[in-house]
Amino acid sequence: MYAKYKYHIWLHVIIVIFGLTGVLGKLITVDSYLLVWYRLLIGVVALLIYFGGIKFSLRISKKQLIRTLLVGVIIAVHWVTFFEAIKQSNVSVALVCFSSSTLFTSLIEPFYFKRKIKAYELIFGLVIILGLYFIFSFEFKYLIGMILSVISAVLASWFTVINGILIKENNAKTISFYELLGAFIVVSVYLLISTELDFSQFLLPVADIKWLLILGVVCTAFAFLVSVEVMKKISPYTVTISVNLEPIYSIIVALLIWPESETMSFGFYLGTIIVITTIFLNALFKNRVSTKEKKALQ
C-alpha cells in the first residue's frame, strides 16, 4: 500500500510543511526582514551542503545567472510581505488571502506565454474577488495584513510564471538555488543599509533559533528537494489540486495552537469557502479543458 501511494503521501507531507511556514512566521518574534534573511541563510547553506554531498554541479551561464538572481529579488519581497501579513493579521487571514495567487497567475500567465485570457479564468477570478470581499468586509481590523498578503500572492504568481519559462532552460535545482541566493543577497543589502552595519541587530532571541532552523532546513531546503522528486512522479493536475489544501491545513494547525486569536467571524469562513471552492473548481475545469485539447489533437 505504501509503495503504491508513497509519492502521494509525500506530496501531502510537503503541503503540510509548506503550510507550517505561516505558523512558524507567527511563532518567530523577530521582524519580517530578519526572519526572511535567516530563512534564506539557513536554506542556502543546507542546499550547499546537500549539493556538495551528492556532487551536484551548479554551473549556469552568465545570462541565466543574472535572470535567475533577479527572480530572487521578487521572491525576497514576496516572503517579506507574506510574513509581515501574518504579523499584521493572523495565519488564517493571511493564508486565505494568499490563495488569490491562483487568480493572479491566470491573469499574468497569458502575457508571458502569449495566449488569450480564457473566459472561465476571468469568471473564477471574479468569484475569488467576491470571496475576498466577504473576508475584507468582516475582518476589516486586519486590513493591512490582508493587503500585504494579496501583494505577496501577486509576487508569488509572478515568479511562478517566470519559473515556467526558466525551467525550459536549466535544471530545477540550479534555478531554485540561485533564486534563493539572489533573494538572500538583496535582503542582506537592505539589512546592512537599514541597520547601518550595526551587527548587534542581527542577534536572535534563543526561543527563535529552533523555529528558524525548522523554517530554513525543513520548510525550505528539505521541502524543495522532496517536492522536485515528487513532481517527477505525480501529474501536474494532482499536484495543483493537492496544493490547494495548504490554507486548509494551515488554518487547522493555527486553530489548534491559537484557538482564541484564530477563531474568526462567519463572514470570514463564508469568504474562505468561496475562495477555496473556486480554486478547486478552477483546477478541475483546467483538467477537463486540457483533456479535451489532448483528445482533439489525437
pLDDT value of residue 253: 82
Interatomic CA distance for residues 187 and 222, integer angstroms: 22
Count of domains forming the chain: 1
pLDDT truncated to tens, each residue of the chain (298 aa)?
A: 566 667 778 888 888 888 888 889 889 999 999 999 999 999 999 999 989 988 988 989 898 899 999 999 999 999 999 999 999 988 888 888 887 887 788 788 888 877 777 777 778 878 888 887 777 777 778 889 989 999 998 998 888 888 878 877 788 788 889 999 999 999 999 999 988 777 788 888 998 999 999 999 998 888 877 876 776 677 655 665 666 677 778 878 888 888 877 677 777 788 888 888 887 787 777 767 666 666 655 5
pLDDT value of residue 290: 66
Interatomic CA distance for residues 94 and 150, integer angstroms: 8
Q: Residue 41 corresponds to which cell in the numbers above? A: 541563510
pLDDT value of residue 32: 92
pTM, to two decimals: 0.83
Helix, strand or coil, per DSSP, at residue 132: helix
Write the DSSP symbol of residue 59: -
The residue segments making up the domain with residue 293 are 2-297
Q: Rg (Cα) of the chain, in Å, rounded?
A: 19
Q: Which residue has the cell 502569449?
A: 114
Interatomic CA distance for residues 160 and 60, integer angstroms: 20
Interatomic CA distance for residues 48 and 136, integer angstroms: 42
